[in-house]
Amino acid sequence: MSDNERGHCMRGARRLIAIPVLAAALLLVGWVGSAQAATWFVGPGDSIQAAVDGASPGDTIFVFGAHSENVLIQTDGLKLKGLGATLTPGAENECGANGFCVVGDINFEDFVVNSYIQDVSISGFEISGFEDSGILAFGAQNASFSLNRTVDNEEYGIFAVLSTGTRVLGNITTGSAEAGIYIGDSPNANALVANNVTSGNLFGIFLRDSMHGTILNNVSQHNCVGALVLGDAPGPAGFYRFLGNRIRSNTRACPASEEGDALSGLGLVISGGVNNIVHGNQITDNVAGGPTAASAGVAVITGDGGTPSTGNVVTGNVITGNDPDILWDGAGSNTLTPNTCGTSVPPGFC
């Protein structure tokens, strides 16, 4: 993670100050089972943050209607459920320029987790227009983000760092300047990213400096890069299983910038990644729509720091209509056949 990216993350968790108590317009409707399992309702325009601050571990917060605020969550076990709920930026606060921040106890000097926030879930929201991320998990364990829609957030749709057991399920992420879905800086990520649709981003799914997880039955389309496993620097990435995904028509053109080369027409890229399994996916029609450093349906290449991709197994996929279907730079020991494909560089894999 670059210093700039870390800066974006830290803004949402560093400034931890007191938040006003529960707004009068917010109604506690009843206890469920015990004093530790209450149900809250937040109406249109009322404060989600006030409900979060008043809630106890295990509480459920139902949210209705439109809300303009940035919401910091630091209580274990909260369940936020949107029912026709939208979240757009309000006054910047402890959550920085993110929509929802799920934040543990972080030592920012060493960038390590002192203790995780656990078992938070957020579902059913449309989250749009934030300068950083729609949803940020920072030092979270077993967080679940499901059935949300993130739209036109300036950095990431759903962003998890220094986290483990993250579940990203059935979301739609679109229009992110970086990645629709990001799992990073997590050597024990153990993430599940399943049944999402991600489109119109720079990267659809971005796995960086993180290990172990399953990428299952997602649709990644109309991005510049459908999915990227990026190891090498600042740390290794791998041991992911890509199963049953449709990575298609990633023809969007992203111009070169200070952060990297022009990119377009890339389906799945493994760059300096290790021991990934890619099986049963449809990776089709990923062709450059503008200038690009490279294009391919599946590219297995050496990382920018010189670490070869190795131990990757790409078999039993339909990889067609790309330019080329499979690209390998010859470094490392990888298995790239058999697949249903037509073209490869070097020849011989199809």
Domains of the chain listed by start with CATH number: 97-345 (2.160.20.10)
Q: Which residues are within 8 A (CB) of 32 and not within 5 positions of it... i.e. 6 or more apart?
A: 38, 39, 60
pLDDT of residue 109: 86
Q: Do 94 and 12 meet the contact criterion of CB atoms below 8 Å apart?
A: yes
- Which DSSP string corresponds to 59-86? -EEEEEEEEE--EEE-STT-EEEEEEEE
Lowest mean pLDDT among 29-43, 99-113, 297-311: 29-43
pLDDT tens, position by position, 79-131: 999 999 999 999 888 889 999 999 999 998 888 999 999 999 999 999 999 99
Give dist(CA 40, CA 61) in Å, integer.
5
pLDDT of residue 35: 52
Does the pLDDT of residue 9 top 50, yes or no?
A: no
CA 323 to mean position of chain CA atoms: 27
Give dist(CA 124, CA 86) in Å, integer.
9
| Best CA proximity match to 305, nearest among 234, 246, 217 | 234
| Best CA proximity match to 143, nearest among 113, 184, 88, 101 | 101
pLDDT tens, position by position, 249-289: 999 999 998 888 999 999 999 999 999 999 999 999 999 99
pLDDT tens, position by position, 131-160: 999 999 999 999 999 999 999 999 999 999
The count of residues in the chain is 350
pLDDT tens, position by position, 147-198: 999 999 999 999 999 999 999 999 999 999 999 999 999 999 999 999 999 9
